[in-house]
Amino acid sequence: MNTIEELSFNLGALLEQKDHILVTAESCTGGGVATAITDIAGSSAWFDRAFVTYSNDAKIDMLGVATETLGQNGAVSEAVVVEMAQGALQHSKGTLSVAISGIAGPGGGSEDKPVGTVCFAWASQQGWLKVETCLFEGDRAAVRQQAVMHALLILYRHVLEDEPYC
């Protein structure tokens, strides 16, 4: 699929067909995944809500991310996105979730976590969990767009293949 709009449309059709409800928990993308989803007419049939948890306090308050997890790993970590994805499911009617936290730039990067580092977690109410860290290139807008596309693509592949625990 060539565009975010095409991918969102096709993902929505699959989610609706398989009776899934999606929820998002986003940090660096600032609601970009939710925007892509809700740009599709009828998305209320397969999308419940979005949590835009840009600050650490928001991650703690809205999703139940542990202060200890943030302190030990930092906001841009696989441990944090796992808790974000699970928290999104616990605080919604969703059956599938995606969580994203990263460093879109232009500043904020480090040697260990350079600009373009984005952590993802996808989870389901039935126990499926996938966690991944990617390094995207480009400016802030490019990193965010690549992150949105990647988040949607992994969801699409998962639902299409009807993987176990979906």
pLDDT per residue rounded down to tens, the chain (166 residues) = 679 999 999 999 999 999 999 999 999 999 999 999 999 999 999 999 999 999 999 999 999 999 999 999 999 999 999 999 999 999 999 999 999 999 999 999 999 999 999 999 999 999 999 999 999 999 999 999 999 999 999 999 999 987 544 4
Residue 85 has what pLDDT? Answer: 98
Residue 161 has what pLDDT? Answer: 86
Enumerate the domain spans of the chain. Answer: 4-161
Q: Within 13 Å of residue 55, how many CA atoms lie on the same side as its CB?
A: 4
- Residue at token pair 């616990």: 90
Residue 1 has what pLDDT? Answer: 62
- Which residue type is seen at 148? V
Find all residues with CB under 8 Å of 51, minimum gap 6, and list them: 23, 24, 25, 26, 58, 62, 63, 84, 87, 88, 91
CATH C-level class of 4-161? alpha beta
